[in-house]
Amino acid sequence: MKLWILLFVFTFFTVGLATDIDQAMVKIYTNSMAWSYYIPWITEALRESSGSGCVVDGNMILTNAHVVSNETYLQVRKEGDPRKYQASVVAVSHDSDLALITVKDESFFQGIDPLELGELPRPREQVTVYGYPMGGDALSTTQGVISRIESSFYVHSGLSLLTVQIDAAINPGNSGGPAIIDSRIVGVAMQTISQADNIGYVIPVPVIKHFFEDLEDGSYDGFPSAGFSYQVIRNEAFTEMFGIEKEQAGVMVTNIAYGSPAAEVLEPGDVIMEIDGRSIAGDGTVEFRSGSRTKLDYMVHRRQIGEVIPLEIIRDGISATVEMTLNTTLHDLTIVSSKIYDTPPEYFIFGGAVFMPLTLNYLEEWGSDWRMYVYEYFTYPFFFNNWRTEDTEEIVIHTYMLPAEVNTGYENIANEIIRMVDGTPVRSFSQFVELVESSTGQFLELTTNLGNIIVLDREEAFAVNDEILDRYGIPEDRVVFQEPVRQ
């Protein structure tokens, strides 16, 4: 009898617990149109997709950024209610693949107890993922175990941030659903490895909290970047030469981005021994909690824009402490930007020649395996050094010609980097446009990275530009921002 009572109580408790979580679950229906980066003045076909989310404090629904990216119309349905409600995006962090959306009709939130954030879980803890995967319309759950916690690649943004790997299935439609331990959110389902069985990734609580704290002042700033590259130290001779007392400790600074926080306090050749109070191992990792290590970048990403962190360095054999103010993001410091969403691509057409800044979006127009097919000089920044320099903020490319009499003979010049305009080096896309339009000579001379020269009759190019736009159905000759787009 006693055993029966215990079983009844346990069943009642767990069913009630599941119901408490179920009532906060939301299915998200998204209509979206992404911009084409090969024909940058048009959008691609309307796309319908769905994702998952959950209600959190403030009548907000937490989900993935990729669930609502480039949205044109958004609807949501709460668990147990057949009606769909129009929703709108409140804030997006494409960096961390997180978004907050809400519903204007406050009746949507009646009877819902918001879910609360938990703590960063431990490896081998049991976790349950909630969501609305493809194959049905009802709420689904999958269970698994926390496999590991470390910094990993976020497919949506291309950045490396803290992630939690789990062995619970995460299928299309699950994106944005919460991972739950003890009725609290410990992560948001994000992505999976398609070539492996049951290897999924969730965005952990520290990253979610960073997003929430960032929004407290009413605007999203992003994740800071120190703006330096480093070499790991695993060789005894190297350690001895640079005056490092500990074996396999520290990293050596190799490259520094122009205008970065690192440029203010570091020099190439400096050895960084500690960052923000944590010792750095020779493999470039720090212990972010007892028994767990990850890349030292985590110590920067966990901070907010404007905060200051100390560094313990060795310069010319002498130890010193410097402080670095984290006032820039990765997007402020790289030559080739990471993925851009919710914003039309920049382009400029002059004399039928189409110009754009080089972006990851453009490279992906070559296909999912673009690294294999795109020109090596396009991929160089990704594999070697993508930091800005004093002379180069962006790479400007000539994509192709819109055939016209004014550009006859240049049809085969395409996908080349524009190095100079009338002998002046190109620094950024907006500066390039200014150089072209302020040119006063009879001819405009453009020099590419392959040594090709495009010479256009300046007055003729200006005169026929509108005619070329009309011929190819192009609404305007440009979309140009003064500053590169930040996500």
Residues 6 or more apart from 104 whose CB is under 8 A from it? Answer: 86, 88
97 classed as catalytic: yes
Are 220 and 99 in contact, with CB atoms under 8 Å apart? no
Neighbours of 43 (CB within 10 A): 15
Report the C-alpha gap between 5 and 24 in whole angstroms.
Answer: 29
Report the C-alpha gap between 122 and 145 in whole angstroms.
Answer: 10
66 classed as catalytic: yes
The four Cα atoms 162, 168, 171, 175 give a dihedral, to 10 degrees, of: -40
Are 447 and 418 in contact, with CB atoms under 8 Å apart? yes
Catalytic residue among 32, 49, 50, 66: 66
Helices (H), strands (E): how many in the chain?
12, 28
Q: How many angstroms separate the Cα of 3 from the Cα of each of 7, 8, 16, 207, 246?
A: 6, 9, 20, 43, 59
Catalytic residue among 49, 52, 69, 97: 97
Query: H helices within 56-204, ranges in order?
Result: 65-68
175 classed as catalytic: yes
Are 399 and 415 in contact, with CB atoms under 8 Å apart? yes
> Which amino acid belongs to residue 274?
E
Catalytic residue among 140, 175, 225, 338: 175
| SS3 annotation, 269-312 | CCEEEEECCEECECCCEEEEECCEEEECHHHHHCCCCCCEEEEE
H helix or E strand, kind and range, residue 357: strand 353-357
Are 151 and 160 in contact, with CB atoms under 8 Å apart? yes
> Which amino acid belongs to residue 310?
P
The residues that bridge with 308 in the sheet, in sequence order, are 325
Q: Per the structure block, which two tokens stand in for 256? A: 């520094």
| Residues with a known catalytic role | 66, 97, 175
